[in-house]
Structure 1
Amino acid sequence: MAATLALPFHSPEVADLLTDKWRQRERLRAAGVDATRSYVIQSESDLRPALDHVGLPAVVKPARGKGSRDTFRLDYPQQAVETITWLLASDEEAGRQPRYVLEEMLLGADDARFGDYVSVESVLTPDGPVHLAVTGKFPLSPPFRECGQFWPAAVPAAQDQAIRELTAQAIDALGIRHGLTHTEIKLTPTGPRLIEVNGRLGGWIAELADRALGLDLFALAADLACGPVRMTTPSWPGIVFQFWNLPPQDARALGRVNGAPTVRKMPGIDRYLNLVLPGPLGPAEVTQRLDLTCGTASSYEALTAMIGAAMASLEYAFTDAEGLTTTTAAVGMPSWQALHAHSTHTPPARQQEP
């Protein structure tokens, strides 16, 4: 539409690169920005060549998708064949043309203070990209479910600079010249590696910008659509964070939520939002945020303590596929379990294939 109306936006070619994960990897590889092994899978005949080229561990994901939909880690040959075959069959049964990307699993550094990945929020200006922030992430809950984020990321200055430089290189390689971008980057033992570049505002990043900077990113996006915008890299005091709860894998419906008034009155908590009404939950194959706990902390240690106190005050009633209703405390749910496990993590011995 923008091209037809001669309006400033991503060109059709850039838009395709930003929404097709296979084409994006190819372009970044050709530009020398990314060397992640990947292969496109559209039928069972692609399965063996893909596994031979990429190897294991690997990640399979839709070529076009969001919210971690149908994204799985593959560690063993039999698991990989069964998972991909099931994905292909599911698409065919639904009348969709299957198209998945199998790519090398980027293994994070063991010394990452929180999650082993970050995102970079950038604004495209006439002078090039301005990176608003490197966004820290909490550890993922299996399989690849995000649990929250915070500004600024808990990374050393040199690593922060390397992350920003890689982001700028990726933006340039993809030919992005307009709008906002949300770039996800894995923190590996050998340095930052690209996960993907999105040509849009990241999920709930506008809420962080509003509390941290008093900056309205929706208005900024509108200003960018009307003409060039010039700005500088901002700075802010304190650490602003968001933490959200994910339902248990077997939950099919949400009943009541207890403890919200208590959380809203806690020192440092800026807001608590319920995001899901009581009733049936969405499909289990995508990330579904039940709520949003937002706060401001003076240190990363205080941040973790505040989240722990909030989670100890929340509990949820869920109904499973058998119609059984149980009450579950937030400290026993996937998000807090992922963060708590990371804080007491000892690297495991290498697993053997069962």
Structure 2
Amino acid sequence: MQPHLLLLTTPSSYRLPAFLAAAERIAAQITVAEDTPPTLARALPGKLLIDFSDQEAALRAICDLHATQPLTAIVPIDDSGVELAARACVRLGLPFNRPEAAAAARDKHLMRQLFARAGVPSPAFHLYSTADDLTALAQTIDYPCVVKPLRLNGSRGVIRADNPAQFIAAARRLAALLDQIEGTGTHEFLVEEFIPGFEVALEGLIDRGQVQVLALFDKPDPLDGPFFEETIYVTPSRLPIAVQREINEVTAAAAQAIGLEQGPLHAELRINERGAWMIELANRSIGGLCSRTLRFGSDTPLEELILRQAAGLPIESLSQTGQAGGVMMIPIPQAGILRSVDGIAAAEAIPGVEAVEITAPINYPLVPLPEGNSYLGFIFARGPDPATVEAALRAAHACLRFTIMPAIPLMTTTA
């Protein structure tokens, strides 16, 4: 029987095309549910346009779909759909994570509380509000610290502060961003201990509560702030085997603390002389186009593994195949309008570079971190070892030239 999978996603998702291609590979029927404002929400052939924030209405739409076209599984592609998927699966009797676990994977304060309760090594933290007296609060905090929103991802809104003045500026900057995203009002945020060290990302698949490690990425560029824009990911990791084992153990403990039982896992950890520290964990696959660096068994992409597990189909192998791989998420150097990109051919001519994909549209505005949530594009490379891959990514990036013009404010006139 052909599996019918519901993919929950957002209009701006990088990931959807890869999941659609994977669905075609396994001959699955796909319906896409896209997070859409209520004024535009409606049903289209092969697609549901529903408002994820109105979960009761979204659940009714999913149940109506299931009544006429029974679903095999619901797969959230992005963070935004994780809680809705969990609630829908409970209502329909489909396997997935408990809603409480899904909520903790989305809310960093809940996540931190569960980590602390389970003894998972993670930063010390406090919950504050933008309505608090920031000047007084700044005198009570241990520095350096990290100011962090509860539910944004991709390092958006995350700012390091080394003293009271920087903390006040960071909290106000985050408040302005949350006003823009969530509406003007009072917002809660975290203040966390800054954990120094070398950062890694772990990609896994959870099966009946057990974390199966698929890949460990090194992040060779330092991520010390004041913002935390990720750039290069390279796998396999060059860390000692004993350190990698500790990373795996901390990740498994973190997933168990939250209560995740099924689906993809993406974790960010820091490594220093005190060991491995869990920074964040998400019930989704790696962001952007970065999954292109991974192939398993006889050239199976990551998205196919995820869909096969969700549909209850056999998985050939969880072992990576081929050479070392890496990706560079091209950072946005400044705000403005992207006018042109030069040097792509020269970058792709670098030995080991497989592709350079510019995802930022020409003549559209660029917003860097901490307010932004995207990259200029991606560089992909393969080679005999991680050091060669990293060198190829850096050489290719050096070939690229971006023309970014300042944005011109709109002029208004009065009669």
Q: Distance in 1 between matches of 2:158 and 2:234?
A: 24
In structure 1, what is the equivalent of residue 395 of structure 2?
A: 309
Closer, same or farther: CA 62–213 of 1 in aligned 2, 3 Å: farther
> Are the structure 2 counterparts of residues 229 and 73 from structure 1 closer, same or farther at C-alpha, using a change threshold of 3 Å?
farther
**Which stretch of structure 1 is more off in the superposition, 227-236 or 307-316?**
227-236
Q: 2:190 aligns with which of 101, 114, 128?
A: 101
CA–CA separation in structure 2 for the residues paired with 1:46 and 1:213 = 58
1:265 aligns with 2:349: yes
Shift, 1:233, TM fit: 4.8
For residues 32-89 of structure 1, the C-alpha deviation after alignment (integer angstroms, 9 at most, x for no partner) is 1135211111233375786577511110111111121111001001221232144335
Evaluate the alpha carbon distance shift between residue 308 and residue 199 of structure 1 in structure 2; reply closer, same or farther with a 3 A threshold: closer
Task: Specify every segment of 5 or more residues in structure 2 that has no aligned partner in the other structure, as ranges.
Answer: 1-87, 410-415
Query: Against the structure 1 CA distance between its residues 48 and 258, is the aligned structure 2 distance closer, same or farther, given a 3 Å change threshold?
Result: closer
Which stretch of the first structure deviates more once superposed, 204-213 or 271-280?
204-213
Post-superposition Cα deviations, 1:226-282, rounded to whole Å, max 9, x if no partner, equal: 238667651445320111321223x31111111212222332111121111201224
Does 1:24 find its partner at 2:111?
yes
Q: Does 1:41 align with 2:41?
A: no
Partners of 1:125 and 1:221 in 2: how far apart? 11
Give 1:1-354 correspondences, 5 Å limit. 1-45=88-132, 47=134, 55-88=142-175, 91=178, 94-108=183-197, 116-126=198-208, 128-139=210-221, 140=223, 143-203=227-287, 204-210=289-295, 214-227=299-312, 233-249=318-334, 251-284=335-368, 285-321=371-407
Distance 2:177 2:214 in 1: 40
Distance 1:262 1:218 in 2: 30
TM-score scaled by length of structure 1:
0.81
C-alpha contact 2:106 2:151 (8 A) present in aligned 1? yes
Structure 1 residue 192 displacement after superposition: 0.8
Contact 1:212-1:240 at 8 Å conserved across structures:
no
Number of aligned positions between the proteins:
315
* Percent of paired sites with the same residue: 25
User: Structure 1 92/126 Cα, relative in aligned 2: closer, same or farther at 3 Å?
Assistant: closer
CA distance in 2, matches of 1:228, 1:211: 16
Distance (Å, rounded) in 2 between the aligned partners of 1:211 and 1:292: 21
Structure 2 Cα separation of the partners of residues 282 and 213 of structure 1: 39
> Could you tell me which amino acid in structure 2 is paired with residue 192 of structure 1?
A
| C-alpha distance in structure 1 between counterparts of 2:233 and 2:406, whole Å | 29
Q: Is the 8 A contact 1:183 1:197 kept in 2?
A: yes
Determine the C-alpha separation between the residues in 1 that align with 2:133 and 2:300. Answer: 47
Are the structure 2 counterparts of residues 247 and 90 from structure 1 closer, same or farther at C-alpha, using a change threshold of 3 Å? closer
Other structure's SS at 2:356 match: strand
Does structure 2 conserve the Cα–Cα contact (< 8 Å) formed by 1:41 and 1:50?
Answer: no
Structure 1 CA distance for aligned equivalents of residues 196 and 207 of structure 2: 33
> Which region of structure 1 is more displaced relative to structure 2, 211-220 or 148-157?
211-220
Cα distance between partner residues in 2 of 1:177 and 1:273: 35
Q: CA distance change for structure 1 residues 35 and 124 in 2, over 3 Å: closer, same or farther?
A: closer
Contact 2:297 2:316 in 1 (8 A): no
Shift of 1:142: 5.0
Deviates more, 1:31-40 or 1:170-179: 31-40
Question: RMSD value over aligned CA atoms?
Answer: 2.6
Deviations 1:168-210 (A, max 9, x none): 1111111110101001101122111010110110113421113
Instruction: Give the secondary structure class of the aligned counterpart of 1:2.
Output: helix
2:347·2:396 contact (CA, 8 Å) conserved in 1? yes
Change (3 A) 1:3 1:49: farther
Please give the TM-score of this superposition, normalised by the length of structure 2: 0.69
- How far 1:14 sits from its partner (Å)? 0.6
Report the Cα distance in structure 2 between the residues aligned to 1:170 and 1:222, rounded to whole angstroms: 23
Q: 1:9 to 1:277 in 2, by over 3 A?
A: same
- Code of the residue aligned with 1:12 in structure 2: it is P
